[in-house]
């Protein structure tokens, strides 16, 4: 019997398998991104890049109390003028590189998207949802008219696909997703707002006090968000949140996701996770008699 076909697409972007590297984990450096692509990721999303270099918050910026992972890194990034070469290096893999950007207003998003296109990225991911940086986009993802304006303007200014990454920390996800529906795909979810307190000192553990929860504890939230959006809007969705195995990804795909991203699991499982999940997915599909991803995508929606 021939091997199942695990290729897929996210909007117009063709992917050799459904597994992408999520923004923020090992993706500031061109060589690291290239290695992750060479080891089996179908594409990488860069760390979110802003107008200027930022060093982020002072440590502690991450708290790991397995499986509970909370971070507030403060969007450290080299700034848009310093990432062109990293993208060029990552692109030598021949696989897609997606440029993640964040800005404080429409003009910044448009400028950053234009630079990413100039650097040769294959798509733009708008980080509309970072919950950590006060005054730097923390409110953008919760304001549907601003989301609509950013998406429409960025779409009108670049030729490459534009993805909108949304936050689960909003009152009506569907309203925000509708506002972003000019995008070529919606990415769900960014981290879930959380907090950790040291019971010996009585102090918040993270310098920023509040942080974003990631890893396995947010998987059900991510799946619910993908399911809700796919139930009401006809748009490609990329799932992210707590994926550590093909089984986790299959849940997202059955909720309607076209592809998925993996972030926090890299810390625990290393880069080898990408070939592991692809192999597991092929085994699952062969055992269930599925020949292609479309055979089971969105099954839970019916
Ligand atoms: C340390 C860290 C940094 C992150 N930085 C970004 C970022 O720059 N831009 C972004 O859109 N998401 C960022 N994220 C969120 C992830 O891309 C992802 O949406 C979230 O962690 C859920 O996926 P996971 O459980 O696989 O990590 C970051 C997450 C972590 C843990």
pLDDT tens-digit map of 271-280: 999 999 999 9
Nearest-atom number in ligand 1 for the CA of 264 is 27
Q: How far is the CA of 191 from the centre of ligand 1 (A)?
A: 6
The DSSP call for residue 29 is S
pLDDT, residue 140, reads 87
Q: Flag residues of the chain having pLDDT under 50.
A: 131-137
pTM: 0.97
Q: How far is the CA of 289 from the centre of ligand 1 (A)?
A: 34
Please give the domain boundaries of the chain with CATH numbers for all domains: 8-52+75-191+216-301 (3.20.20.70)
Q: How far is the CA of 129 from the centre of ligand 1 (A)?
A: 10
Cα–Cα nearest to 228, from 149, 132, 300: 300
Query: Which listed residue (130, 188, 189, 265) is catalytic?
Result: 130
d(CA 104, CA 12): 28
d(CA 284, CA 253): 13
Burial class (CB in 10 A: 0-12, 13-18, 19+), 185: buried
d(CA 184, CA 196): 36
pLDDT, residue 78, reads 96
User: CB 243: neighbour CB atoms within 10 A?
Assistant: 27
Q: Is 206 in the pocket of ligand 1 (CB under 6 A)?
A: no
User: Best substitution site from 60, 264, 269 to test ligand 1's pocket, by max atoms within 8 Å of Cβ?
Assistant: 264
Active site residue 225: no
Q: Is 191 in the pocket of ligand 1 (CB under 6 A)?
A: yes
- Closest Cα to atom 4, ligand 1: which residue? 24
Q: Is 75 left (phi over 0), alpha (psi -120 to 50) or beta?
A: left
User: What is the token pair recorded at 268?
Assistant: 């625990």
d(CA 257, CA 226): 7
């Amino acid at each position: 019997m021939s091997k199942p076909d695990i290729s897929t697409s996210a909007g117009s972007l063709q992917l050799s398998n459904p597994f992408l590297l999520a923004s923020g984990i090992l993706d500031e450096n061109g060589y690291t991104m290239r290695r992750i692509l060479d080891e089996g990721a179908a594409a990488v999303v860069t760390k979110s890049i802003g107008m200027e270099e930022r060093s982020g918050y002072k440590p502690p910026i991450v708290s790991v109390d397995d499986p509970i992972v909370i971070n507030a890194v403060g969007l450290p990034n080299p700034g848009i003028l310093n990432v062109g070469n990293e993208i060029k290096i990552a692109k030598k893999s021949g696989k897609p590189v997606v440029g993640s950007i964040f800005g404080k207003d429409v003009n910044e998003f448009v400028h950053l998207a234009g630079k990413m296109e100039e650097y040769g990225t294959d798509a733009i991911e708008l980080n509309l949802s970072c919950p950590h940086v006060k005054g730097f986009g923390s409110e953008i993802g919760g304001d549907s008219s601003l989301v609509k304006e950013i998406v429409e303007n960025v779409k009108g200014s670049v030729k490459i696909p534009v993805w909108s990454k949304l936050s689960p920390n909003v009152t009506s996800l569907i309203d925000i997703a509708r506002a972003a529906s000019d995008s070529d795909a919606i990415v769900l979810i960014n981290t879930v707002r959380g907090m950790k307190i040291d019971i010996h000192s009585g102090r918040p553990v993270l310098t920023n006090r509040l942080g974003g929860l990631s890893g396995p504890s947010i998987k059900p939230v991510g799946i619910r968000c993908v399911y809700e959006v796919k139930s009401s809007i006809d748009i490609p969705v990329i799932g992210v949140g707590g994926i550590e195995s093909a089984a986790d990804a299959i849940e997202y795909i059955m909720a309607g996701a076209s592809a998925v991203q993996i972030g926090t699991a890299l810390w625990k499982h290393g880069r080898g996770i990408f070939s592991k999940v692809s192999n597991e997915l092929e085994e699952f599909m062969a055992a269930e008699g599925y020949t292609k991803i479309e055979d089971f995508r969105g099954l839970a929606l019916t």
